[in-house]
Amino acid sequence: MDVTVTSSRVHGDADAPPSKSYTHRAILAAGYSDGARVRNPLDSADTKATMGAVDAFGGSLVEVADTLEVAGFDGRPDVPPDVLDCANSGTTMRLVTAAAALADGITVLTGDASLRSRPQGPLLDALDALGARAESTRGNGQAPLVVEGPIEGGRVEIPGDVSSQFITALLMAGAVTDEGVEIDLTTELKSEPYVDLTLDVLDDFDIDAERTADGYRVPGGQTYRADEYQVPGDFSSASYLVGAGALAGDDSVTVHNVYPSEQGDSAILDIVERMGARVDWNRDEGTVEVEHASLSGVEVDVGDTPDLLPTIAALGAAADGTTRITNCEHVRFKETDRVDAMATELAALGASVEEERDTLTVHGGRSDLTGTTLSGHGDHRIVMALSLAGLVADGDTTITGAHHVDVSFPGFFDTLYDLGASVTLD
């Protein structure tokens, strides 16, 4: 499915969807328990993959209105009856790979072509060090993966600059091992707020885990407990709504369901304010009102907020001056190489862009955006970010693979349309 966005103005109210990151962790935490309710979970392609894994490990899930009733596997996953297909969800594969190392037997994990190209080697090495057999069938650190447990815990070293999801996976699984897991980071940790988010969920499920001088530690022999868990709104998804208001707001756009949490991507509010838009965040009511303004370029370090790069790049293409996005090499290891994808597609729109290994520079003042046909690169965040640029490009902007927004924001185009944007799905 493709989408065509025509230059248009937006206004009104919109709801941010539930957090994808919190939903993944809450579903799996409920799976590690003997049972819990997860309220307001994100219903998306990615989170369904995590639900499928909990079911394969011996749990069960029933959807009732906006609640998931989860009967967990109580810390001891069964060997799945079939290959675990993680679809396009990197979070699922990494968190579930560590869970599989707790099972007394062999688990095979795979995913789609994009997921089978993403790095898993450091996590496999860590699980090997903990006593599992964990390997890539192709010997390249990429899925399909074979994991044989069970592990009992121990101490491991792992780089922090590939994916914070490796640390999350080890912490979640380590809590129910006999010995616990201590993680020493061998490089600087990128995307640290995502580990903070994990610690937040673990605490709500009565699990102790902590930051240490060299990394993280989770004691073993713990039990996941929670009657229910409420998933907060998603700031990564809200960034596109906030960006739409800043770029193309006619009066203002108010985004709901954005309460304070451990999500690093709440930084988008500060970023668009620095660029010149007026932002009013009522934390108690969970609302953000954004008023359009002439934006100016800024410099942003996305070391801790990689998912914001596409949004910032799109904003920068329509801003005066230069927007420089730094510390972004790890953003190349997502569903696609998001640095290159945004550089390529914004250039096709007429933006002046410079791409380096760890930096993306967008010269908005030298850009003249004109609608054309763009590739969404099979990546939900690229599709949504390019849609923002389409709001202010002259003429029609068509983006291929619009259906990929179902990964994190299934109702995105309906929401954009309801705000007044000219959106046509083909």
If asked whether residues 287 and 330 sit together in one domain, one would say yes
If asked whether residues 360 and 391 sit together in one domain, one would say yes
Four-CA torsion 42, 45, 49, 55, nearest 10 degrees: 60
Q: What is the CATH number of the domain that holds 293?
A: 3.65.10.10
Q: Name the token pair of 306.
A: 């990689």
If asked whether residues 357 and 420 sit together in one domain, one would say yes
pTM: 0.94
If asked whether residues 296 and 368 sit together in one domain, one would say yes
Pick out the residues of the known binding site for 3-phosphoshikimate.
20-21, 25, 163-165, 191, 307, 334
Pick out the residues of the known binding site.
20-21, 25, 90, 118, 163-165, 191, 307, 334, 338, 381
Q: Which of 307, 320, 379, 396 is catalytic?
A: 307
State the residue range of the domain holding 66: 20-230
Task: Kindly state the average pLDDT of the residues 117-128.
Answer: 97
Give the integer Cα–Cα distance in Å for 125 and 104. 19
What is the per-residue pLDDT for 377?
Answer: 97
What is the per-residue pLDDT for 362?
Answer: 98
Pick out the residues of the known binding site for phosphoenolpyruvate.
20, 90, 118, 165, 338, 381
If asked whether residues 186 and 238 sit together in one domain, one would say no
Look at residue 324 and give its three-state secondary structure. strand
The H or E element that residue 275 is part of is helix 267-275
If asked whether residues 224 and 327 sit together in one domain, one would say no
Task: Kindly state the average pLDDT of the residues 96-116.
Answer: 97
Q: Name the token pair of 292.
A: 């359009």
If asked whether residues 100 and 202 sit together in one domain, one would say yes
With beta carbons less than 8 A apart as the criterion, state whether 250 and 11 touch: yes
Of the residues 230, 252, 283, which one is the last residue of a structural domain?
A: 230
If asked whether residues 184 and 278 sit together in one domain, one would say no
Least Cα distance to 39 among 222, 169, 233, 171 occurs for 233
What is the per-residue pLDDT for 365?
Answer: 87
Of the residues 230, 255, 284, which one is the last residue of a structural domain?
A: 230
Task: Kindly state the average pLDDT of the residues 212-235.
Answer: 97
With beta carbons less than 8 A apart as the criterion, state whether 390 and 371 touch: yes
**Sheet of 299-301, strand order:** 299-301, 322-326, 359-363, 352-355
Catalytic-residue membership of 304: no
If asked whether residues 171 and 285 sit together in one domain, one would say no
Residue 251 has pLDDT above 90, yes or no: no
Give the integer Cα–Cα distance in Å for 389 and 147. 43
Cβ-based neighbour number of residue 283 at 10 Å: 11
Q: How many domains in the chain?
A: 2
Of the residues 178, 212, 230, which one is the last residue of a structural domain?
A: 230
If asked whether residues 203 and 252 sit together in one domain, one would say no
With beta carbons less than 8 A apart as the criterion, state whether 98 and 171 touch: no
If asked whether residues 384 and 330 sit together in one domain, one would say yes
Q: What percent of the chain has pLDDT over 90?
A: 98
**pLDDT single digits (tens) 304-318:** 999 999 999 999 999
If asked whether residues 196 and 116 sit together in one domain, one would say yes
What is the per-residue pLDDT for 286?
Answer: 97
**Mean of all residue pLDDT scores within the chain:** 97
**pLDDT single digits (tens) 45-100:** 999 999 999 999 999 999 998 999 999 999 999 999 999 999 999 999 999 999 99
